[in-house]
Amino acid sequence: MNERTFHPRDAHRLEDPERLKWLPPEEVLARIGPVSGMTIADVGTGTGYFALPFATAVGSRGRILAVDFQKEMLEMLREKLSGSGAPQNVVLVEGEARRTTLSGNSCDLVFMSNLWHELDDEAGVLLEVKRLLRPGGRLAILDWRADVVPPPGPPAAHRVSRENLRQVLSRHGWPVTHAGNAGKYSYLLIAGLPAI
């Protein structure tokens, strides 16, 4: 935890119906292209804003591993998953991004939405992602644009620009295959596994 960590009392912001307009999950999913049968780790899942649409996209043969280190956030997601018609292929995992507790070589995609700017140990997290991904797996990171003035979102001083993140990924050997803005206030970077 640090001063940038999202507070569970603000969870209503993640569920604000307006968010569906300025950050449509279907736009983000269309860029990533989840397919039936995939296993996706949604690290920093919060209330599952993306975990649920991913769950529908991967279908009953696929799985979403919804990871968060705050129990309160996972409880809110558990509540959503208990509703009628909720997907049954979401597994809740209490874990920290550097030590998710997930099995190695188990994921086709690791997704992080609005988590990156809250992290302290980027290198440690990238090592964990590398451990989780199967050959050909991808890492998709969505976060707040630094060139847009808040609100909504965290203070400008907490934001990591798209270019900065791209440089971090390159420095650690992750080839970026997609970089673009997403919705009104966010960007999305997709990277493949490092060669070594």
Interaction site with ligand SAM (CB under 6 A): 5-6, 14, 44-46, 49-50, 68-70, 73, 96-97, 113-115, 118-119
Terminal Cα-to-Cα distance of the chain (whole angstroms):
31
Nearest-CB residue for ligand SAM: 46
Q: CB 185 → ligand SAM: shortest distance, Å?
A: 12
**156 vs 175 by CB, closer to ligand SAM:** 156
**61 vs 71 by CB, closer to ligand SAM:** 71
Q: CB 120 → ligand SAM: shortest distance, Å?
A: 7
**68 vs 108 by CB, closer to ligand SAM:** 68
Q: CB 101 → ligand SAM: shortest distance, Å?
A: 11
